[in-house]
Structure formats: structure tokens, C-alpha cells
Amino acid sequence: MTYPIVELGDVTKTYGDVAALRDADLVVERGELLAVVGPSGSGKSTLLNIMGTLDRPTSGTVGIDGHDVARLSDRELSALRARTIGFVFQQFHLARGVPALDSVADGLLYSGRPRSERRRLAQRALVRVGLGHRLGHEPHQLSGGEKQRVALARAVVGDPPLLLADEPTGALDSRSGAVVMALLRELNRAGTTVVVITHDRDIAAFLPREVRVRDGRIEHDAPVLHEGARA
């Protein structure tokens, strides 16, 4: 039986008296490319944390790759996250003085693979994002767009079926942002499910599906009609 890669049912997340997310229902099928869009404070980051199993809901059900998150121990949850989910954030989180090849290989530190294999897979991932010529470059030798591509390579080096990209173009100029979005589309075409969390409606408008979040609620979830498909 094939399960959705993400399935949220009536999910609520509260922090004290504040409901960051309310009664959220969301199904993401394998192979989808979609945007979760909303202004600052809308609840989209909380939704990301729930989908990424970085946080547990106050109530409701969360299914990731067919697993009921509530039934998993912290150790089992960490293992599920490691093999299933890749994360890309607005801030690149690259360690100072560490070459790109090792930054990406570090994404496999807990995989049990030997160092030589981790480096081989890291090189392949960097070539995949167009940085095969930057393997030995440290963060200060890379542009912002290149840093984000290193972070993207690190997120996909283990071939996770789900990629969560949180404001992946937020720290980039428009040209570098366009390159990163093109890479996300390529990864999706290769089979990775990609969820882009953004406040940028222009980005959302060019993805096949848009989920809008406001005041902690999913207020809209529908395919996007592009210019060629408009009535």
C-alpha cells in the first residue's frame, strides 16, 4: 500500500495560550511540488516543524511516509527524519572553514556509511547542483547563491523522498533565487517531493499547488492556474 508522504489530520499546536496552528488538514502526495505561503506569524513555520517532525502537535494526527508520528519514540522519530526528510533553510548553516565537500558529506554522518562513501556521495550531490568545481571551497569563498546550493546538496545527499525548503531564496538576490528554484524543480522532476515554505506570493504563483496559511489556519489549498491554463 502506498501512503501519502505527509498526512496531517485536524492538527493543532499551541504554545501556552497561543494557537500557532489550528485544525490543519493537509495531504501531500509523493512527487508533488507545492508552496506553503503566508505572512510572518501566519503559522507556516509551525506547519513546517510539524511536517518535518521537529515538533509534535498538541492534538491531531501526523503521518509521515506511512508512519504515525505519535507512535514513535524520539529515537525512532530521529531515524525516520534522517532517512525521509531533507531540510533547506534561509540561513545556510555552513560551518566556517569547512570545504563544501565536507559540509555536504556531514549530512550523512549518522547514516553508518564509511567516510569514503560519504565523500563520494557528497561529490555527486554537489555536481548535481552545479558545484562540481567548488568542492574544496570554504563558505567565505562562495557567493550567497553557491552557499544555498551547498545547503541544498547537503539536504539531498541521502536521497530523501521529502524536501522541506524554508524560505530558500529569502537571503538571495533575484538571479540566485531563480537558480535555486530551478534546482528545486529539477529535484522534483527526478522524483523528490518538494514543499517550499515562503512569504513570497510570486514564488508560490509559479508552483503547481498553493497552500495559504493565515492566523494559524489553512485558508486555501488548490492547484495554481498558470497563464497558459487560465480561462
Domain residue limits, the chain = 6-229
CATH number 3.40.50.300 is the correct assignment for the domain at 6-229: yes
Q: What one-letter code names the amino acid at 139?
A: P
- Average of per-residue pLDDT across 177-201: 94
Q: What is the pLDDT of residue 90?
A: 87
Query: CA neighbours within 13 Å on the CB side: how many for 63?
Result: 18
Residue with cell 495559504: 212
Nearest by Cα to 36 from 8, 66, 77? 8
**Summary mean pLDDT of the chain:** 93
72-108 pLDDT, tens digit per residue, is 999 999 999 999 999 999 889 999 999 999 999 998 9
191-204 pLDDT, tens digit per residue, is 999 999 999 988 99
- State yes or no: pLDDT of 231 exceeds 60: no
- State yes or no: pLDDT of 42 exceeds 60: yes
